[in-house]
Amino acid sequence: MDHQAKGTKKGRAALKADEAKVDLIAVVVAVNDSEPCLLTIGNADTLPSGPYALEHRSLQSGLRGWVEQQTGHPLGYIEQLYTFADRDRIGAERQERAISISYLALTRKEQATGSANCGWRSWYEYFPWEDHRSGTPVVLDILRPRLIEWAEGASDATTRRERRQRAAIAFGFDDRNWNEELTLQRYELLYESALIEEAGGGGDIAPAAVSGKAMIADHRRILATGIARLRSKIKYRPVVFELMRPSFTLLQLQRTVEALAGRLINKPNFRRLVEQQELVEETGETSLETGGRPAKLYRFRHAVLDDRAVAGTKLPLARA
Amino acid sequence: MDHQAKGTKKGRAALKADEAKVDLIAVVVAVNDSEPCLLTIGNADTLPSGPYALEHRSLQSGLRGWVEQQTGHPLGYIEQLYTFADRDRIGAERQERAISISYLALTRKEQATGSANCGWRSWYEYFPWEDHRSGTPVVLDILRPRLIEWAEGASDATTRRERRQRAAIAFGFDDRNWNEELTLQRYELLYESALIEEAGGGGDIAPAAVSGKAMIADHRRILATGIARLRSKIKYRPVVFELMRPSFTLLQLQRTVEALAGRLINKPNFRRLVEQQELVEETGETSLETGGRPAKLYRFRHAVLDDRAVAGTKLPLARA
DNA sequence: TCCCCTTATTGTCAGATCGAATATAATCGG
DNA sequence: CCGATTATATTCGATCTGACAATAAGGGGA
């Protein structure tokens, strides 16, 4: 392998050996009836994906192409998540590398042109321990002792202490607060402790209703990355509106945020923040569909996308 | 091109056409004497980089290998920045794709084993308009009218208004606050308005002292991405300590943060925040090298890496 | 030795923000 | 017309933040 004669990009065109397959893979999210949903293909449990090909004008357009072809669903908002070399997919027989570039996409369910081989599933089917909207989920009562057991199973005391602490922080044990952004860390802990299916069998896997549905290959890990990113992002960038209909009530908006965050928000405070940041404006109409006093309808002030564009727009969910 | 028969990852091993060259590229940062420095190779203006090769165990280890080989500098903290398909590098003659995966790395200058073909440069040589530690830099007085001119040069009124607003937000015109995190947006505006060298000549390029040093290919853009990410990250994750010596005074810490952020911080408030978050602990020693009253020396409390690990550690620099 | 200059360290105070709880308004169904 | 239900508006105290001021501890020169 010639490692010299490089440093400028041009010099490298000569090398031919080091090529890799590049996959594009999408976490497509929508929220329906206060339930955060994930777009899957085939017999579910698989994210839309496909190879980055010659005819693609860019990474993003390649991703859009694959998702639209596999699900019939056009994508709006897209953001890159992470790129990783997939060790599982390195063919032992054939020397080749595989790279996956993952993206997060936000849409609305109705936009689907109803293509065949795909469907929407609540992401909490894959992560039952992530939904704290009705208080701490019961599955945590089962996972906690298992995690403790795993921590205590380490050979040396240092590792034991470290494992205990990691679990306590990620899952909010010992009177710590639940931090909804730690979705990926939680997944990794459950993977390490072999409490979920992907971990490869050896361990003492918890029942499916507790450990959640598994996904193909590393897709559940990618989903965890997407959830974590989205939960973090809604706090400082007005991306929720990508998931809303053109007009909506403030409570619908709140329910959507709560669905994503997996926790409840104080109503008056939520309204105050939304209004004082001028994220929305009244349409003038009202909705009677709520059962009580009619709710005003609002629309997103698209001006803020230019305005505050990259500045400090933030939704609540600050500290617990 | 066969777009069917996929969806599961396995099905794709058969495809052979769509391979791509994968490059790893590093933005290596250190802070010396209150100056944020970038590690470059060759006759400078080039970031360390190299192809992802078969013998690399992972993307990160590949990156470490290339940087160490090209600069003799071992890397500590590493974080992925962004992956992009480089359109400039798509050979028109030969049909092939090139992917670049960029990383941000933090170290200290002293760790260099002093290898040959590399050096450190202040990143403000490339971005003179980004350093606001001594007030608004004079180069902005030259760039502002040029940007306005560019905005007004648009054909239709809507584009003009949009351009004016983007420039005003990014650069803090019209009594807006300077937002140090918008480094990438500023670079993109200067690129679009052809005020910098990379933009391809056509435009009315500002003098080098104003527009900053150019870099090879898209490296200055990658650097802008790295700066933006780092400026954002120091506010909620204790990464600054990667850049500090084992023991340091609080003022040294503050100067380092200021160097990165390109703006000054209020001293007592900085100290309050650092202390109340228990990010540091006293070593018991003091430093006399400051000219005035001796300063206590502190060390980073590595416990917080477990502790707050992913939670809410934040440094000041909140709103202006 | 004493004064002054420099920097470190501690303390104060008003305004903004945040979380929680309360009060009032507008529909619907009997 | 009443009460159940939900929407909307207001209030209050705790906390956080930003700006400023005051005190402490060295060194250097008169």
pLDDT tens, position by position, B230-273: 998 998 888 999 999 999 999 999 999 999 999 999 999 999 99
Residue nearest to nucleotide D17 (CA to C1'): B269
A83/B59 CB distance under 8 A: yes
- Distance in angstroms: CA A32, C1' D1: 39
Query: Do residues A143 and A190 lie in contact, with contact meaning Cβ atoms separated by under 8 Å?
Result: yes
Give tens-digit pLDDT for A11-21.
343 344 568 88
DSSP B94: S
Strand D lies under 7 A from the Cβ of residue A295: yes
pLDDT reported for residue A202: 57
- What confidence category does residue A56 fall into, taking pLDDT thresholds of 50, 70 and 90? confident
Is A293 within 7 A of strand D by CB distance? yes
Q: pLDDT tier at A189 (50, 70, 90 boundaries)? A: very high
Among the partner residues A162, A216, A306, nearest to B8 by beta-carbon distance? A216
B9/A49 Cβ within 8 A: yes
**Residue A245 per-residue DSSP state:** -
Mean pLDDT of all residues in chain A?
84
pLDDT for the residue numbered A222: 97
Whether A127 and A227 have beta carbons less than 8 Å apart is answered as yes
Q: How far apart are the first and last CA of chain B?
A: 54
Tell me how far apart the alpha carbons of residues A195 and A190 are, in angstroms, rounded to a whole number.
5
Distance B264 CA to D15 C1' (A): 25
Scanning every residue of chain B, which has its alpha carbon at the shortest distance from the alpha carbon of A95? B54
Residue B99 pairs with which residues in a beta bridge?
B22, B85
Cβ–Cβ under 8 Å, residues A288 and A268: no
- Give me the domains of chain B, ranges plus CATH numbers: 18-124 (3.90.79.10), 128-212 (no CATH), 238-307 (1.10.10.10)
pLDDT tens digits, residue range A60-101?
999 999 999 999 889 999 999 999 987 655 444 456 788 999
The pLDDT tens digits of the residues spanning B132-150 come to 999 999 999 999 999 999 9
**B320 pLDDT more than 50:** no
User: Of all nucleotides in the shown strands, which has a C1' nearest the CA of A271?
Assistant: D8
Q: Inform me whether the pLDDT recorded for A10 exceeds 60.
A: no
CA-based nearest distance B22→chain A, Å? 7
Encoded tokens for A226: 């997407």
A186 Cα distance to chain centroid:
13
Do B46 and A85 lie within an 8 Å CB cutoff? Answer: no
**8 Å CB contact between A252 and A288:** no
Q: What is the pLDDT of residue A261?
A: 93
Flag whether pLDDT at A129 surpasses 80. yes
| pLDDT (mean) for B93-110 | 84
Q: Does the distance separating the beta carbons of B85 and A52 come in below 8 Å?
A: yes
Between these two residues, B116 and A153, which has the higher pLDDT value? A153
